Amino acid sequence: MIKFGTGGWRAIIGEEFTKANIQVLAKAMADKMKAEGVCDDGIVFGYDRRFLSKEAMRWAAEVFAKEGIKASLINRSSPTPLIMYYCMVHGFHYGMMITASHNPAIYNGIKVFTYGGRDADELQTADIEKYIEKVNADEICPMEYDAALAAGLIEEINPLNEYLDNIINTVDMQAIRNRGLRVVLDPMYGVSETSLKTILLTARCDVSTIHERHDTLFGGKLPSPSAQTLRSLQNSVLDKKADIGIATDGDADRIGIIDDTGKFLHPNDILVLLYYYLLKYKCWKGPAVRNLATTHMLDRVAESFGETCYEVPVGFKHISAKMNEKDAIIGGESSGGLTVKGHINGKDGIYAAALLVEMICVTGKKLSEIAKEIEDEYGTIYLEEKDYKFSQERKEDIYHTLMIERQLPHLPFDVEKVSYLDGCKVYFENGGWIIIRFSGTEPLLRIFCEMPKAGQARLVCEVVEDFLQLQ
Ligand SMILES: O=P(O)(O)OC[C@H]1O[C@H](O)[C@H](O)[C@@H](O)[C@@H]1O
């Protein structure tokens, strides 16, 4: 069964991520493209460094070739944002990236991009699922790779320079060049090394890298930047007295940052830092977009500049759609993805990293100093976040209590309103909030809570944990 979630289709390798399913998905996409009459420009493919990613791309391309649809394959493992950029610039109606992004190593998956290099939205993925139902797997008869290559139905491409030049031409390379920053990179065994290193070296940064080798087990860790997974980066930054430590997730669309004091900056802080930088130092004007599990500090910054911050459900497709609608200058999520107006319609860890480096150089301040500047001006909000595993039975119970019966515990703060837009989000009168939702990418229940005073967020989480019997 192929089901799309928050960020594409993800499945355990050998269980559902199989050659047969990959080819069913490819056939469904080919049928959909034919029905829509958008086969002429073909489809573009990329893959990351996960186990079976390259093979999966080829298996899918062989199906498209058989259907007479040209498949352009990026000929080396690449960041997801690169393929989104390529789709956007070359006007492809569809693109596919073989990746399971930040999921554990036993997963792989496929992200589908639509016109403009956007993440396929729910309407699109529901439509793909309908086409999947109609595919007769026995009738799939792929064209052999070399034959398809010779017939011009598969082509191998390398758009890396195009993508890099676009970033190099957008960020203030001159400002970075003059500072000789010390940067430590942690691609988390994923795909960002070449791109990010090239950009930083072009700007004359002093770059050292950890975790760069190809390891499909991601060193036994989750390829998702967090305080727990970035301890080595933290140590390297301190050892090397670096100005910044930059990590990206498995497919480089998300970012994680260690500041000059060795402190892990939460993605919420990165988003706030960049929005503040764009408004205050670059004098940009425009709203921000965040998902409903992302810090309301962004709203405080927006308000202080006479701007608005819009809230959308989790999933970058919602962020980019709202950014377009409101002409927002930044959009991002607490899971570590962000983009800025004028760049691609999806999250890009490489571009975000380059912009942060630019920020340090243009402001002439250390990362920790800019963060302090923001704290002095806007105060602190206290965050608690936790993921919980559950059995299928418990999932149904929790879903029923929370989403069907809409029961809530007696909460220790006055409630302003409750939203069921994506999971259950309670907004408190004091500006705090808690959201309880099932992840759309992993079998986890996620809770985020932000409160104005220390200890309050933990207290609210404990009440919810007791009520839902979470461990
Ligand atoms: O909380 P989840 O549903 O697992 O989603 C977490 C993240 O997953 C993917 O990376 C999506 O592209 C993001 O938009 C989303 O924020």
CA–centroid distance, residue 262 to ligand 1 (Å):
26
Residue nearest to atom 6 of ligand 1 (CA): 335
* DSSP class of 143: P
Instruction: Give percent of the chain above pLDDT 70.
Output: 100
Q: Which residues form ligand 1's pocket by a CB distance below 6 Å? A: 6-7, 101, 314-316, 333, 335, 337, 439-442, 446
How much is the pLDDT for 7?
86
307 with 286: CB under 8 angstroms?
A: yes
CA–centroid distance, residue 240 to ligand 1 (Å):
33
Q: Report the distance separating Cα 117 and Cα 364, nearest Å.
A: 34
Residue 441 has pLDDT above 90, yes or no: no
Which tokens is 366 given? 């250390």
Please tell me the total count of domains within the chain: 4
Claim to verify: residue 282 and residue 240 sit in the same structural domain:
no
Mean pLDDT to the nearest integer, 122-146: 96
How much is the pLDDT for 392?
87
Instruction: Give percent of the chain above pLDDT 90.
Output: 97
Q: Report the distance separating Cα 102 and Cα 221, nearest Å.
A: 10
pLDDT by residue (tens digit) across 427-438? Answer: 999 999 999 999
Residue nearest to atom 9 of ligand 1 (CA): 7
Claim to verify: residue 206 and residue 233 sit in the same structural domain:
yes
Average model confidence (pLDDT) for the chain? 97
The ligand 1 atom at the shortest distance from the C-alpha of residue 8 is 12
Residue 418 has pLDDT above 90, yes or no: yes
Measure the CA angle with vertex 440, ends 344 and 135; round to 5°.
85
pLDDT by residue (tens digit) across 98-108? Answer: 999 999 999 99
CA–centroid distance, residue 304 to ligand 1 (Å):
29
449 with 384: CB under 8 angstroms?
A: yes
Residue 442 has pLDDT above 90, yes or no: no
What is the rounded end-to-end Cα distance, in angstroms, of the chain? 30
Claim to verify: residue 284 and residue 252 sit in the same structural domain:
no
Residue 324 has pLDDT above 90, yes or no: yes
Give the residue from 328, 356, 375 where a domain finishes: 375
Confidence bin at 471 (pLDDT 50/70/90): confident
CA–centroid distance, residue 322 to ligand 1 (Å):
16
The ligand 1 atom at the shortest distance from the C-alpha of residue 249 is 10
Which tokens is 239 given? 């050892």
Longest dimension (CA), the chain: 68
Claim to verify: residue 92 and residue 236 sit in the same structural domain:
no
* DSSP class of 321: H
Residue 92 has pLDDT above 90, yes or no: yes
Claim to verify: residue 309 and residue 364 sit in the same structural domain:
no
Give the residue from 160, 193, 228 where a domain finishes: 160
Residue nearest to atom 1 of ligand 1 (CA): 439
Mean pLDDT to the nearest integer, 123-140: 96
Confidence bin at 408 (pLDDT 50/70/90): very high
141 with 23: CB under 8 angstroms?
A: no
Claim to verify: residue 215 and residue 138 sit in the same structural domain:
no
Q: Report the distance separating Cα 219 and Cα 228, nearest Å.
A: 13
**Residue 197's domain is classified under what CATH number?**
3.40.120.10
Confidence bin at 426 (pLDDT 50/70/90): very high
Nearest 10 degrees: Cα torsion 59, 62, 348, 101: -10
Residue 41 has pLDDT above 90, yes or no: no
- What ranges make up the beta strands (E) of 90-149? 94-98, 107-114, 118-119
CA 312 to chain centre: 15
Q: Report the distance separating Cα 362 and Cα 9, nearest Å.
A: 40
Confidence bin at 11 (pLDDT 50/70/90): very high
pTM for the predicted model, two decimal places: 0.95
Mean pLDDT to the nearest integer, 188-193: 95
The ligand 1 atom at the shortest distance from the C-alpha of residue 317 is 14
Residue nearest to atom 10 of ligand 1 (CA): 7
Claim to verify: residue 353 and residue 207 sit in the same structural domain:
yes
How much is the pLDDT for 30?
98
Asked if residue 464 belongs to a domain, the reply is: yes
How much is the pLDDT for 226?
95
How much is the pLDDT for 2?
95
Q: Report the distance separating Cα 293 and Cα 296, nearest Å.
A: 9
Q: Report which of 250, 243, 446 is spatially closest to residue 333, judged by C-alpha positions.
A: 446
How much is the pLDDT for 6?
84
Q: Can you give the residue range of the structural domain that contains 206?
A: 173-265+348-375
